[in-house]
Chains A and B, each alone.
Chain A
Amino acid sequence: MSSSSTPAISITGLTKTFGTTRALDRLDLQVAAGEVHGFLGPNGAGKSTTIRVLLGQLRADRGSGELQLLGGDPWKEAAHLHRRLAYVPGDVSLWPTLSGGEVIDLLGRLRGGLDEARRADLLERFDLDPRKKSRTYSKGNRQKVALVAALSSDVELLILDEPTSGLDPLMENVFSECIQEERERGRTVLLSSHILSEVERLCDRVTIIKDGRRVESGTLADMRHLTRTSIDVVLDEPPRGLDLLDGVHDLRVDGTRARFDVDTVHLGDVLKHLGGYGVRTLNSQPPTLEELFLRHYRTDPVGAR
């Protein structure tokens, strides 16, 4: 199935308005079968709205471009297409009186069955007690219930909306392993997130949206120019010539201390240069996605860059 040539998700020119608010504005999104696709954007960019249109829960504006999910129409054929996909919502709400195990079974059966061995394995790996009533689960545990229900199903496409927002780092690792396995099994994954490192670790290709529009799409290698590292370094002597190096931005030199951002592709050259001045301490920080957006996609039409 992974070798099938039809894309798992194909969206062109999708618009969705709520009253006067335009949540999605001619959005494009292409996800090929068999790939793990990162869907990035700051809060309120339209990630969840896109996903809910894909699930047939929201109706795209009339005459607003083309929309295909697993080769079908997500609005008209919703129930039929949903046999072939599993979904983890960003905000998992469960039935308070049902146990986690019951919820997993129910969602699996409504989709058309689940893999028993995988269910047991996932419960163990996510360290989830299926006998507890949903009312007593924490946010992270509710998310685990939804993840186990989705991952133990036998489907072609997984749609995950910020699935790790409530998980601790240990469980984030388990989640990453699971996604790697899904990739090996040839399943398609759409992973929405606002955590850049998570997407970098897991995804083959990435689409970035902001204000309901696609601003960037491609492989991570294509996106190298997006990633800058912030450096804060103290040297033996005041550095010279940093401003002449390629890829150095926002440089501030204060005696022997220098603070600047550097394009990740040029990081090696810059470090070599700094070595000449004797590095005492060096602090580097990957940029947050929010910073990237501020830097690259300011919405002002003047186009300062």
Chain B
Amino acid sequence: MNDYKGTAALLRLALRRNRIIMPVWLLIFVVMAAGSASATIKLYPTASARAAAAQSSNASPALIALYGRIYDPANPGGLAMLKMTSLGALFVGVLMIVIVTRHSRAEEESGRLELLSAGVVGRRAPLTAAVLLAAGSSVVLGIVTALGLIGAGLPASGSVAFGLAWACTGIVFAAVAAFTAQLTESSRASTGAAIVVLAAAYVVRAVSDAGHGLQWLAWVSPMGWIAQIRPFGGNRWSVALIAVVFAVVATAAAYAVLARRDLGAGLVRPRPGRARARASLRSPLALAWRLQRASLSGWLAGFVVLGFVLGGVASSVGDVADTPAARDLITKLGGVPGLTDAFLATEVGMLAIVAAAYGIQAAARTRAEETGLRVEPLLATAVTRSRLLAGHVIVALAGTTVLMAGFGVAAGLSYGAGIGAVGRGVGQMLAAGIAQLPAIWVLTAIVVALFGIVPRVTGGGWVALVVFLILGEFGAVLGLSQGVMDISPFAHSPRLPGGDVAPAPLAWLCAVALVLGVAGFVGFRRRDIG
């Protein structure tokens, strides 16, 4: 037990550090879930109305891929929790990954763990404390969510199964993050690796739900297991065991690596670098590119793979269940005729939000560099503040462009190949991806403006993204007015392929982004560094 000595103390420290942010996050999740539940019950007051809506949803491959299947149309919970079961779980997974990395590899990278581990702290204690924090939070989240759903009027057994599904998601991805945290020396890379596992699990789940005869794929993906617990549609409790066993195995693997490595080191040893810099490394832009290119390559690979997969799924969608009810539902969702177009437009919209997350992260890198004291030495050379900031902003803008274009081309290729018109497919999908850029850049510009004017809250870009996501995904369910939902820049993006393109909203989005961006540059030139 010596290995675990100090775990309790470290756990208390972690709880202390998270005493505000953690309850806030858990509350957001619970309110979202319970809010959707009570809103759906109000929206579809009769059992027949709910059943009709659930059947329409099940008829749409786009919705199945994005949210999953409703296994029991008669149960009000299935429809109410449609968006929460898989998509909500995805965000639970992200939260737990961030928490585990923050308390394991990030502590190690910063050197703070070195200070702690010199005290009476066992070798496994820090990682154990991080995993316990995330797993405990997941369990609390599950319990409170279940209570919230019951309170909102959903069946009790299904509500508990739903809470269990979320708790399992949190535990599984906490364990995944515990493992990836052992692999590299950088917390950025270990978070990235865990997110890649999460995204892959989600895509496999989507393909297994929407594809033909691919249901078995659900059993190789953690997100598939979560969906197969089927809250409100059978409540298959035993499936949760798979998730728990997986989490235990992944944590054991993390311990095994931990026992074989030095403090601060990873499994992957860094190679020695170059004695001289390449001739091209001679500007802030070149440095920003150098610092961010690995991350962008990873993101791009993800977008291209997603493009191929979703484009392939789309080409087989057209001939599936084209019922009038499904048409009606999808037309209401986006006003796009044609199931395939609706499917693709929905996926492009989701990818735009993910690309916006990349843009936020890339632009916020300037703040990370500033608080990491790496801006000072650059500004002590002949580099102006504008040039310094421009470096990271250009990477963010060009990066989001490359991501959406990469997704569009990949999706167009596989979709076009499926329908026998590659040129048209690529053209359509590339345009659809590019058309999302103005809205994405508004998010980038928000980060730039915050960084320039109120640098302490540069992270507010993430808050904006979450708010826009909630407005877009849940605004209608929560009964918000159109005026409120129009705050989100994504509400003004054209729904392509298939929809109409109006130049005016795109021009406005670009103008808003430009104004915010300029405000950020002006602010950064006038403020203190540090």
Contacts and interface: CB of A to CB of B under 8 A. Distances in A.
B24 interface: no
B283 interface: yes
B273 A101 contact: yes
A99 B270 contact: no
A52 B373 CA distance: 12
Contacts of B380: 55, 57, 82, 85-87, 89, 159
B275 A52 contact: no
Contacts of B291: 95, 97
Given A95-B291, A97-B291, A110-B283, A57 B272 contact: no
Residue of B272, B290, B381 with most partner-chain A CB within 10 A: B381
Interface string B266-292: 000010111111000111100100110
B319 interface: no
Nearest to A93: B373
Contacts of B372: 93
Contacts of B379: 55-57, 78, 82
B529 A107 contact: no
B33 to A, nearest CB: 39
B384 A102 contact: no
Give the interface size class of chain B. Answer: 20 to 34
Contacts of A93: 372-374
A44 interface: no
A52 B530 contact: yes
B382 interface: yes
Contacts of A135: 185-186, 270
A26 interface: no
Given A55-B380, A105-B277, A110-B382, A136 B270 contact: yes
B513 to A, nearest CB: 26
Contacts of A146: 377
A55 B186 CA distance: 31
Contact of A99 (B272, B282, B378, B530): B272
Interface in A127-174: 130-133, 135-136, 146, 159
B377 A89 contact: yes
B528 interface: yes
A118 interface: no
A209 B382 CA distance: 29
A133 B277 contact: no
A93 B282 CA distance: 19
Contact of A79 (B290, B374, B384, B527): B384
Given A83-B382, A102-B274, A110-B383, A57 B281 contact: no
Nearest to A134: B273
B486 interface: no
Nearest to A58: B528
A85 B381 CA distance: 8
A101 B381 contact: no
A102 B382 contact: no
B528 A57 contact: yes
Nearest to A146: B377
A71 interface: no
B273 A59 contact: no
Contacts of B3: none
Residues of B contacting A: mostly: loop
B376 interface: yes
Interface string B245-282: 00000000000000000000000001011111100011
Interface in B406-453: none
Interface residues of A, number: 42
A132 to B, nearest CB: 6
Contact of B277 (A78, A97, A101): A101
Residue of B282, B283, B382, B526 with most partner-chain A CB within 10 A: B382
B264 to A, nearest CB: 9
Given A109-B282, A131-B273, A57 B530 contact: yes
A109 B278 CA distance: 11
Given A91-B373, A95-B291, A109-B282, A133 B270 contact: yes
Contacts of B377: 87, 89, 92, 107, 146
A89 B373 contact: yes
Contacts of A101: 273-277
A92 B374 CA distance: 8
Given A52-B530, A87-B377, A93-B373, A106 B382 contact: no
Contacts of A130: 275-276
Contacts of B283: 110
A96 interface: yes
B306 to A, nearest CB: 27
B272 A110 contact: no
Contacts of A78: 379, 384
A210 interface: no
Nearest to B371: A93
Contact of B281 (A52, A106, A131, A132): A106
A14 to B, nearest CB: 14
B385 to A, nearest CB: 8
A213 interface: no
Nearest to A84: B382
Nearest to A89: B376
Contacts of A85: 380
A112 interface: yes
A156 to B, nearest CB: 14
A228 interface: no
B272 A131 contact: yes
A158 to B, nearest CB: 11
B63 to A, nearest CB: 42
Contacts of B526: 59
B186 A96 contact: yes
A178 interface: no
A194 interface: no
A94 interface: yes
Nearest to B387: A79
Interface string A55-69: 111110000000000
Contacts of A96: 185-186
Given A99-B274, A106-B282, 12 more contacts: A58-B530, A82-B381, A92-B373, A97-B186, A101-B274, A101-B275, A105-B277, A105-B281, A107-B377, A111-B381, A130-B276, A131-B273
9 contacts: A55-B380, A58-B528, A85-B380, A96-B185, A97-B273, A102-B273, A105-B276, A106-B277, A106-B287
6 closest Cβ pairs, A-B complex? A99-B273, A105-B277, A87-B380, A110-B381, A93-B373, A57-B529
Interface of B: 185-186, 270, 272-277, 281-284, 287, 290-291, 294, 372-374, 376-384, 526-530
